Chains A and B, each alone.
Chain A
Amino acid sequence: MTTAVDTKKLTMVQAVTDGMRVMMKEQENVIVLGEDVGQNGGVFRATDGLVAEFGEKRVIDTPLAESGIIGTSIGLAMNGFKPIAEMQFLGFIYPAFNQIMTHASRIRARTLGAFTVPMVIRAPFGAGVRAPEIHSDSVEALFTGMPGMKVVVPSNPYDAKGMLISAIEDPDPVLFLEPMRCYRSTKMDVPDGKYNVPLGKAARLQEGDDVTVFAYGAMIDVVMKAAKTAEEKGINCDVIDLRSLYPLDKEMIAESVQKTGRAVIVHEAPGTGGLGETIMSLINDTSFLYMKAPIERVTGFDTPVPMFALEDHYLPSAERVVQAIEKVTQF
């Protein structure tokens, strides 16, 4: 039996807008705030049309101050609102780092649950769009390493809307990262109303028995290309879109590597202190005896993301991923 659901073809950025719209309709206390989110609809148009629909009291252009945006959102969240705060780019979140680290992420713990901070921080991130300096940082690990924060990254329009709704409904602060390269790269059928894609769950994008390839966000596209090349060489990849970086989907990660016995982890963030290391230790904890080869990582380097004339060198390429896949299968 199928239930008919109305859908629309949306890009990821449109799906994000739709997720906010659905929740703002449903809950009076959901508000959107940030730099240029009102009349301008956000520099990426993620909040396009919201001010016309919900008014300036709920879609708020703030002064240019990230620490101010996050700090006041904490107060708003502790006092009955559900703020969705937009950082214009993840690379501009640093002035707010203090507020997120010292307050947003630990008020529940500090007060044994007497105060909580149910807020969402949305931030576009990642390289590959020829943006100016500092706009392309992938510093998700700063936040996955921050006790008390959930960190999620959708890689397609359907997940973006469903995960954003889940993030808004989540009782704790969630950093919702939006890969800029995916904003307009594809359109997809997205249900009109409300639906949830749960946080904490990965998604299997392709079944295979030879090697598991883990990635998230903009790297999914790269990894899918690599998996196709690998297939032509007779290697079948189990491709896992992690989606939730904190907490990780321990079950799916273990289940997959116990089946394949091999793993390649791909992210564009720097290797040292990156999520790849956490995943390796998770595999060690859950599946050490199943492994047939050492785990390979293909990551960005321990360097600042270079200006765009060099960014293609910085970003993991499908070729580098294929080489890693071959290395683990030929071990």
Chain B
Amino acid sequence: MEKLFPKLQIINENGEWNDETYRGEITEELTKELYTKMLRSRLFDRKGVNLQRQGRIGTYVPFEGQEASQIGSAMAMGEGDWMFPTYRDHAATMTFGHSLKTLFLYWKGRQEGCIPPEGKNIFPPAVPIASQLLHATGAAWAEKLKGTDRASIVYFGDGATSEGDFHEGLNFASVFNAPVIFFNQNNGFAISVPIEKQMKSKTIAQKAVAYEMEGVRLDGNDVFAVYFHTRTAVERARKGEGPTLIEAVTWRYGAHTTADDPSKYRNQDESTSRREMTDPILRLERFMKNENMWDEKWAADLQESLTAEIEAAVKEMEETPAPHYNDVFDHVFAENPWPIESQKKAYAHSRGDR
């Protein structure tokens, strides 16, 4: 099966060409845009970890190492399409339009962190594993029923493929030919469980075969491979040719969450030493140097302006006024039924408020 699903690559670990199909489209402008987005999300991610350590936000879920998978795929989606992220996919959602402030608010335990910007079809992060695959399928199906050419993309990890919802999502999408991209980030671990204990199959892409849909396995640290192959899947979906399962093989350097200690189950030195080979930002930098697109001053300025943007977002997050307790009560139904209304009144009364 592994042979049937080779790991597609456009640029190799040294930043050299492996597949020149898209040479004409890989312009300096596109490359710089991808690089900017990846660096932006990495700086955001490191800030998230730091803020958690300082007690300024709650548990945070880092993604360092997975930037190419998330950004390459999000870049392939268009205005009006749908995105269904997990708790880890901030690089994808910020690329698709979420503000950094909103993302920080989410990890500050604020309900506002679930609200997308006006006109952006971004679902709240799915915390229960694999539950979102069916929503993506439903939303895509709706677009098909409405006769548009819009598509859905849904993110999930390797562990998620064990849940019933994964199989139900793929099956529904296949039966109803829904325009949905199932985007798997295979980082080899579901918390402590390595992929060999998660499944006997050698690839995730091969699971597409059972559902008679396209399955693609690619190097998830090669942002070009992710971008162009996802774009192809989106084009297929728009033309009514159905869903695609994409397996992006990647690696996350850090902990599962800031509440987790990976040294219990994984050799962290190995993780660090893999960086040379797997770091998607480093790879793009090498490519840019090879292609004479790299400019030290540009890179330094970029670092500075992105840092400033992130600091501003942190400030905005921290200056957001505390929520009112009525938010607990007022959004469960369109109109409060009497039990909630009386609980709300009783609570206000217990505090001496009116």
The interface of chain A, by Cβ under 8 A from chain B, is 35-36, 38-41, 43, 61, 63-68, 91-92, 94-95, 130-135, 271-272, 301-304, 306-311, 313-314, 319-320, 323
Contacts and interface: CB of A to CB of B under 8 A. Distances in A.
A40 B264 contact: yes
Nearest to A71: B164
Interface stretch (B38-46, B68-76, B187-195): B187-195
B59 A130 contact: yes
B127 A135 contact: yes
A261 B191 CA distance: 51
Given A302-B340, A319-B350, 15 more contacts: A39-B264, A40-B264, A61-B193, A64-B190, A66-B163, A91-B128, A94-B128, A132-B61, A271-B343, A301-B340, A301-B347, A303-B332, A307-B109, A308-B58, A309-B110
A63 B350 contact: no
A133 B110 CA distance: 10
A38 B49 CA distance: 27
Contacts of B259: 43
A64 B129 contact: yes
Nearest to A37: B192
Interface residues of B, number: 44
B169 interface: no
A92 B165 CA distance: 13
**Main secondary structure on chain A at its contact with chain B?**
loop
A310 B128 contact: no
Given A306-B327, A309-B323, A40 B162 contact: no
Q: Which 3 A-B pairs have the closest CB atoms?
A: A308-B109, A40-B192, A63-B162
A272 B347 contact: no
A35 B109 contact: no
Among A65, A68, A308, max chain B CB count under 10 A is at: A65
A311 B87 CA distance: 20
Nearest to A67: B164
A304 B328 CA distance: 8
Nearest to A131: B59
B3 interface: no
B264 A95 contact: no
B332 A304 contact: yes
Contacts of A323: 350
B85 interface: no
Nearest to B166: A65
Given A40-B192, A40-B265, A130-B59, A313 B165 contact: no
Among B61, B113, B264, max chain A CB count under 10 A is at: B264
Contacts of A135: 127
Interface string B295-328: 0000000000000000000000000001101011
B5 to A, nearest CB: 20
B193 A36 contact: yes
B55 to A, nearest CB: 10
B243 interface: no
A309 B328 contact: no
B162 A68 contact: yes
A316 to B, nearest CB: 10
A233 B211 CA distance: 69
A320 B351 CA distance: 8
A271 B192 CA distance: 37
A67 B131 CA distance: 13
A40 B350 CA distance: 44
A206 to B, nearest CB: 23
Interface in B114-137: 125, 127-129
B109 A134 contact: no
Contacts of B108: 309
Contacts of A310: 109, 111, 323, 325, 327-328
Contacts of B190: 35, 64
B160 interface: yes
B28 interface: no
Contacts of A61: 192-193, 197
Contacts of A35: 190-191, 193
Contacts of B347: 301, 313
29 contacts: A35-B190, A36-B191, A36-B192, A38-B192, A39-B192, A43-B260, A61-B193, A63-B159, A63-B197, A64-B162, A65-B162, A65-B164, A66-B163, A92-B128, A95-B128, A95-B165, A130-B58, A130-B59, A132-B61, A132-B87, A132-B109, A133-B127, A271-B339, A301-B328, A301-B329, A301-B347, A307-B110, A307-B111, A313-B347
Among A64, A67, A306, max chain B CB count under 10 A is at: A64
A69 to B, nearest CB: 10
A276 to B, nearest CB: 13
Contacts of A134: 127-128
A303 B329 contact: yes
A161 B162 CA distance: 32
A133 B162 CA distance: 22
A307 B340 CA distance: 18
Contacts of A130: 58-59, 109
Given A91-B128, A133-B127, A307-B110, A302 B343 contact: yes
Nearest to A66: B163
Contacts of B327: 306, 310
